[in-house]
Amino acid sequence: MTALNMDRMTGGRFFLGLGTSGRLVIEDFHGEQFAKPLTRMREYIDIIRKAARGERLDHDGEFFHTKRFQLRFTPHRASLPIYIAALSPPSLRLTGELADGWLPIFLAPSRMAPAVVELKAGAEAAGRSLRDIAISPQVSIYVTDDVAAARDRERPHIAFYIGGMGVFYHQYMHRIGFGADADRVREAFQARERNAGIRSSSSSTPARRRSGSSSTSRTKTRTSKRSGRWLPEDRTQGFTSAPARRLPDWPSHRASLAFF
């Protein structure tokens, strides 16, 4: 109901982003069992799309059991766009099969070919193509002439995910060619040496963020958009090289909330 109301309030400028998360977050933070996440996601999407079409929510699945309920308002549209945050091959295939868009994190454009293969396989299995799937990656953009400082600013963010968020992102870094870096980061975090882990994320940091002058950042963003149906979800920051004169961080710009 929240998603459909947001879509109605914004005149159809909303899309719903979903993700299965990982075992560490689901079990240790939410207190739920992390079992068959893709089956759960498939059922969840089916229920949402029934609601968007104004149908009765009769669903008897492995995880969800609903009946008789029906929305008491007319959704803005019956085809609410659903984007999936996917990185693993099975999740990417599910995204290609069912979703309107893909929400990758830590996307290195020069190394996205394996992910595109999985997306395409899922799409073709459902009689679709890659053109049916928008790509909306989270992209860190640093507007500065001090590229080295920008990399140092980004390293803690990526190192925390690799070393402190279970095995999910560590395995992903291996799949896109940053295995050695990822191993060093994870080993450092397990040894409670986070600063060493942050320094170890050097190779993957420049590959997945954009930094430089405003004109350089614009050029790189336009290049990315031309490579496909890209709708970047930007984490844009501006700062000077001198800490005493550092500008406040710009707020995060989410493509999914662009209507604000």
Alpha-carbon torsion (29, 30, 31, 34), positive or negative: negative
Q: Is residue 101 part of a domain?
A: no
CB 13 within 8 A of CB 77: no
Residues 241 and 153 in one domain: yes
Q: Is the pTM of this model over 0.85?
A: no
Question: Rounded CA gap, 92 and 101, in Å?
Answer: 11
Q: Is residue 127 part of a domain?
A: no
Alpha-carbon torsion (203, 205, 208, 210), positive or negative: negative
Q: Look up the domain containing 8 and give its range.
A: 1-80
Is the pLDDT at 47 greater than 80? The verdict is yes
Per-residue pLDDT of 87-142, as tens digits, reads 999 999 999 999 999 999 888 888 888 899 999 999 999 999 999 999 988 887 78
Residues 142 and 70 in one domain: no
**Of 53, 80, 107, which closes a domain?**
80
Q: Is residue 165 part of a domain?
A: yes
Better pLDDT: 144 or 30:
30
- Rounded alpha-carbon distances, angstroms, from residue 85 to 13, 88, 205, 237: 19, 10, 20, 23
Q: Is residue 44 part of a domain?
A: yes
Residues 75 and 169 in one domain: no
Q: Is residue 121 part of a domain?
A: no
Q: Is residue 131 part of a domain?
A: no
Q: Report which secondary-structure segment, H or E, holds 169.
A: helix 168-175
Could you tell me how many helices (H) and strands (E) the chain has, helices first? 11, 9
**Of 80, 102, 122, which closes a domain?**
80
Closest of 119, 99, 134 to residue 232, by C-alpha: 134
Split into its structural domains, the chain has a count of 2
Q: Is residue 10 part of a domain?
A: yes
Q: Is residue 32 part of a domain?
A: yes
Per-residue pLDDT of 184-219, as tens digits, reads 999 888 888 766 556 655 555 444 444 445 565 555
Better pLDDT: 89 or 237:
89
**Of 58, 80, 102, which closes a domain?**
80
Residues 149 and 44 in one domain: no
Residues 180 and 74 in one domain: no
Residues 156 and 71 in one domain: no
